[in-house]
Structure 1
Amino acid sequence: MQDLTPDIWALLGHTQALIGIYDPSGRLVYANEAFRTTFFIEPGETPLWCDLMRRNYHAGRGVRISHPCFEDWLQSTLSRRGKVASLSAETDLLDGRWLWIVESTMPDGFMLFVGTDITRQRCSQRELRQERDIAVRFSQIDPLTSISNRRHIMDVLETVLTTDVPPSRPLGSLCILDIDLFKTVNDRFGHVTGDSVLVDVARTLRAGLRTCDALGRLGGEEFMVILPGVGAEAAQPILNRLLSLISHSCKIAQDPDYVLTCSAGATELQPGERSDTAYSRADRALYDAKRGGRNRLMLAS
């Protein structure tokens, strides 16, 4: 170490990277300014690695350590330290920064520690992940009603149809609901009111379902409900209750006496069947409900 020229020592001392050198016993024999500042080391101080980690841990600073028992973590890490020629990893500090650290162990047992601040890159990655998650979320959501759009609810149906359940348990039920005479609502009260009705119906349906149930807007005034694990017989009172909620809760401001109703067609899902097969059954049942006078639920035969 003494063979390094003064210029190189000066360069190491003022670089932004954290640089530290430990001797074979684990004692810090060199630390540049960035290293000393980060780990709160006084000039000329040469602590052992374990003492440095313990001191900063109890002071609530330095490396973030999530292990429930610090001493167990310390002994475990100490037993592995220096056992490989080179080790690299990222770690976060309690001051909010992230470091990419590289520890290189020489044949004589000396260890070189180099830490690079990657906080900006980590923040950029987090922002990219957040933007990606938002984009995915928006690609699944109907912008008017804030429930699943057609593509996403159909994907959910595919997932439910491929779920493994015991033969004695129902796979689930599928229901298609359609607002009765919705064109009349638009023509009589305007499209703004029509949009409000769609939002109100979606909100009412969501409030009447379990968290594990799925709800989506297929388009126009048509909605889909998926009830995982619920057979047709058990689904019937649930769906009838939803129809009742809509007729009693969804009101039109311009005409409070106007009764808004829905028709619905439902079917029990069969393991291994195609999603379009189940959809067609429910759609035919919906057609029967419309033809039977509207404001009713029909189960597929």
Structure 2
Amino acid sequence: MDEISEKLFHLSDNTPVLIAAYDGFDRLRYANGAFRSAFFLDEGETPLWSDLMRRNFKASIGTVVRDPDFETWLISTQSRRGKTGFREFETDLADGRWLWMTETIQNDGWMLCIANDITRLRSHGRSVRQDRDRAIKASYTDDLTGVANRRFVNARMEEMVQRLDVLGCVCLLDLDNFKYINDRFGHHSGDIILRDFAVRIQRQVRRSDCFGRVGGEEFVLVLPATSTSEAELIVERMLAAIRKSRPLRQKADFGYTFSAGIALAISGDVVADVLSRADTALYSAKIAGRNRIHLAA
């Protein structure tokens, strides 16, 4: 470490501003002293963000999570976390502090988090801002599954096709024989399956990717900076995860599957173009027997 780097490291580790960096898989790679103190991290710890939040929630420390169902909150938050180049928001800590946090995403997926303690600032209008933040969150979230909705996913696809220098893929995921499932087991069971699908797929999604429900049993996975071969491997892992699922307690032997169509966004595409190719590939997967992936020609 040269003299300038050493000085910068010393300054960042001793500032009251909270600073942290996460890699593309959302694993903590650097946290200064203020950040470690606020989120109860030992020096050298490198947990996944989700594991850190889960650990602190169980201990009632760190970030205040007002949803009593932590896993529901986690799925909803992960469906938006790191999906835009820059985000700013307020967050409360269990010790009473109030932080203003920013998240900046680099092209390689790394995230820089910077937070300032604004507890002493005037709190006038705070409830209004928090209501606004909750309204924004609701406008981007699918009510049933908690993942991103059509509006949020469409915005991420628009961003991807506008970046002509970086290839990316759009994947349409559609549950197989879902009408039959609803007719046989009822719509309540259908809802359980949709939520199970959303949770299991979201667990497989990289932070730079976006996964959301766009209607009925159809979901979209947006994979920026990803080739078709890489996308196929990602969705294959998802197929394997879903094949193992047994979401209905009253039907312990019941399993379900999905089919997928993958299309590469190319120069000159608009969202409708790449979606159309992915939809054609999805149709081919259904015709070929379901429970499989097809790539757009």
Alignment identity in percent? 41
Provide the secondary structure at the position in 1 that maps to 2:123. Answer: helix
Structure 2 residue 142 is the aligned partner of structure 1 residue 147: no
Equivalent position of 1:298 in the other structure: 294
Q: Hey, what's the Cα distance between the residues in 2 that align with 1:157 and 1:250?
A: 32
Change beyond 3 A, Cα 1:123–1:181 = same
Change (3 A) 1:121 1:230: closer
- For residue 284 of structure 1, report the CA deviation from its aligned partner: 0.7
Aligned equivalents of 1:250, 1:208: Cα separation in 2: 18
1:238 aligns with 2:238: no
CA contact (8 A) 2:192 2:247 kept: no
- Unmatched 5+ stretches in structure 2: 1-14, 18-96, 98-118
Residue 133 of structure 1 and its aligned partner are, at CA, apart by 1.1
Alpha-carbon separation, structure 2, partners of 1:141 and 1:122: 30
The 8 Å contact of residues 246 and 253 in structure 2, kept in 1 or not, is answered as no
Query: CA separation in 1, counterparts of 2:280 and 2:127?
Result: 46
> Aligned residue for 1:257?
253
Equivalent in the alignment of 2:207: 211
Distance in 2 of aligned mates of 1:217 and 1:291: 22
Q: Map 1:37-186 onto structure 2 (within 5 A).
A: 122-163=122-163, 165=165, 170-186=166-182
1:281 lines up with 2:284 in the alignment: no
Q: Secondary structure at the match of 2:125?
A: helix
Q: Is the 8 A contact 1:197 1:250 kept in 2?
A: no
State the alpha-carbon separation in 2 of the partners of residues 295 and 66 from structure 1.
52
Cα RMSD between the aligned structures?
Answer: 2.2
Match of 1:107 in 2: none
**Shift in Å at residue 239 of structure 1?**
0.8
Match in the other structure for 2:243: 247
The whole-number CA distance in structure 1 between the counterparts of 2:237 and 2:146 is 22
Distance 1:121 1:251, change over 3 A: closer
* Structure 2 letter corresponding to 1:224: V
Amino acid at match of 1:135: A
If the length of structure 1 is used for normalisation, what is the TM-score? Answer: 0.57
Which residue identity lines up with residue 231 of structure 1 in the other structure? Answer: S
TM-score (norm 2): 0.58
Contact 1:201 1:250 (8 Å CA) reproduced:
no
Partners of 1:164 and 1:269 lie apart in 2 by 9
List, as ranges, runs of 4+ consecutive aligned residues in structure 1 with deviation greater than 3 Å.
119-122
Unaligned 5+ runs, structure 1:
1-64, 68-95, 97-118
Amino acid at match of 1:233: S
- Decide whether the 8 Å contact of 2:175 with 2:218 is kept in 1: yes
Higher relative contact order (CA 8 A, sep 6+): 2
CA distance in 1, matches of 2:134, 2:236: 35
Structure 1 residues 120 and 208: CA distance shift in structure 2, 3 A: closer
Q: Distance between the aligned counterparts of 1:147 and 1:211, measured in 2? A: 13
The aligned amino acid for 1:162 is: Q
